Amino acid sequence: MVTPKNLKKALALISEEYKVIAGGTDVIIELRKQNKPAKLLNISQLNELKKIKKTNNEISIGSTTSITN
């Protein structure tokens, strides 16, 4: 499992080889069904994805934002 330190590094690693996970529940279930191990790209620690941003009439919620944020 690879855990990049920032979003730029994560984006550089994205490929068909990697399965992107944050919590991992659904991915782990899928991986158990397969014979070959997958390379995992853990994005759960990326602060850039833990934001809630409001602009004009839009609210943007980052993909790793938790209910407590």
Return the higher-pLDDT residue of 68 and 36.
68
Closest among 56, 69, 29, 33 to 44, alpha carbons compared: 69
64 in Cβ contact with 46 (< 8 Å): yes
Confidence of residue 4 (pLDDT cuts 50, 70, 90): very high
Domain boundaries, the chain: 7-61
Q: Which strand (E) or helix (H) includes residue 29? A: helix 25-33
User: Over 80: is that where the pLDDT of 2 sits?
Assistant: yes
Could you report the per-residue pLDDT of 9-61, keeping only the tens digit for each? 999 988 778 888 887 777 777 777 876 667 889 999 999 999 999 999 999 99
pTM: 0.69
CA dist list (Å): 18 to 8, 53, 67: 16, 28, 27
Residue listed under structure tokens 């009439």:
57
